[in-house]
Amino acid sequence: MDYKPKILVIGSANMDMVIQSDHFPSPGETIIGGKFSLIPGGKGANQAVAAARVGGEVSFISKLGKDLFGETNLENFKNEGIDTSLIKQIPDQPSGVALITVDSSGENTIIVAPGANSHISTVDIQAADSHFEHAAIILTQLEIPLPTVLSCIEKAKKKGKPLILNPAPATDLSEAFFEGLFMITPNETEAELLTGIQIRDDDSAESAAKALFGKGVQNVIITLGAGGAFVYTEGFKGRIPTKKVQAVDSTAAGDTFNGALAVALAKGESIEKAVQFALKAATLSVQRMGAQSSIPTLEELSLKN
């Protein structure tokens, strides 16, 4: 049996309500959409599922409401083989919900009501001591309170564990988030917000990555959608391309990338090889509808060239 590295994911879990449409409505406009789907999502949950499906032994720290969506998500995590011992259901908050519109080109708009996700606290992080100690890679994002994210980063550094910060959704961060951080994985929009540098080409991507590197981040990966990813590390600097495909829905493509990246790195792959693997997973995900419904398995990836 293949080695399954321990991956600890800290983040949000939502239920995604997805409507397909030819185009996005303008402010004040009502349009008739197409198919409606109810799909488990949330950046943390998506990344946990992605890591589990491509070969990781995943533990997930999150919070859900004691409601139908919470029960559905919890059952889904168990079916994916994810350790749910650190997931709490709280009775006085609803589970997180995302309202998603997907247009005919595969682009999306998303509004998130965090609900129980807003109550993932530093106390929950401190209570997960043994999970931090045993994790090969730790992965977190920004759909949970920023003090909680910073607590994850500080605890990982204290334990000497590599942590990947996916700074999504885009928000400004203090310098404390960057110093000594193992890896950051912004997309173009997030990288611009964090550095003030608009990414138009490889040169500007390198400038933004260099700026993040200069803040104390050890490894910077800027995801570029169909353009692949720009990597800036001590040993490698450059863009890694990805296969061109017809996108159906870009929801969870970044989450798929990060989950697959964490597993590949935990298995000892070089950053270049890990990024190539993660791009392969993300490229397959954009050819399918939905968040977790689009995430490929290791078996599916092995069948793709």
| Strand, helix or coil for residue 66 | coil
Q: How far apart are CA 261 and CA 259, in angstroms?
A: 5
Is 267 marked as binding a ligand? no
Q: How far apart are CA 210 and CA 216, in angstroms?
A: 10
Rounded-to-10 torsion of CA 224, 96, 110, 139: 0
Is 22 marked as binding a ligand? no
Is 228 marked as binding a ligand? yes
Q: Which residues contact 244 (CB under 8 A, 6 or more apart)?
A: 226
> H or E element: which one contains 15?
strand 14-20
Residues of the chain with pLDDT under 50: 1, 305
Is 239 marked as binding a ligand? no
> H or E element: which one contains 71?
helix 68-79
Q: How far apart are CA 6 and CA 162, in angstroms?
A: 12
DSSP 130-196: HHHHH-SEEEE-SSS-HHHHHHHHHHHHHHT--EEE---S-----GGGTTT-SEE--BHHHHHHHHS
Is 98 marked as binding a ligand? no
10 bridge partner residues? 61, 140
CATH 3.40.1190.20 for domain 6-303, yes or no, is yes
Is 81 marked as binding a ligand? no
Is 33 marked as binding a ligand? no
168 bridge partner residues? none
> H or E element: which one contains 50?
helix 43-53
| Cα distances (angstroms) measured from residue 275 to each of 10, 195, 264, 269, 297 | 21, 22, 8, 9, 17
Give all strands (DSSP E) within 87-136, no chain letters. 87-90, 96-102, 108-113
Active-site annotation, residues:
255
Of residues 42, 282, 120, the one with CA closest to residue 185: 282
Angle at 266 between CA 260 and CA 270, to 5 degrees: 85
As a whole number of Å, the CA-based R_g of the chain is: 18
Q: Cβ(236)–Cβ(205) under 8 Å?
A: no
Is 122 marked as binding a ligand? no
At 213, phi and psi to the nearest 5? -60, -40
Q: Which pLDDT belongs to residue 134?
A: 97
Q: Cβ(246)–Cβ(11) under 8 Å?
A: no
Is 294 marked as binding a ligand? yes
Is 46 marked as binding a ligand? yes
| Strand, helix or coil for residue 261 | helix
Where are the chain's structural domains?
A: 6-303
Indicate the pTM of the whole model. Answer: 0.93
Is 224 marked as binding a ligand? yes
Identify the residue whose tokens are 């970044």: 254
CB atoms within 10 A of CB 47: 33
Q: How far apart are CA 133 and CA 156, in angstroms?
A: 9
Q: Which pLDDT belongs to residue 303?
A: 62
Averaged pLDDT score across all residues of the chain: 95
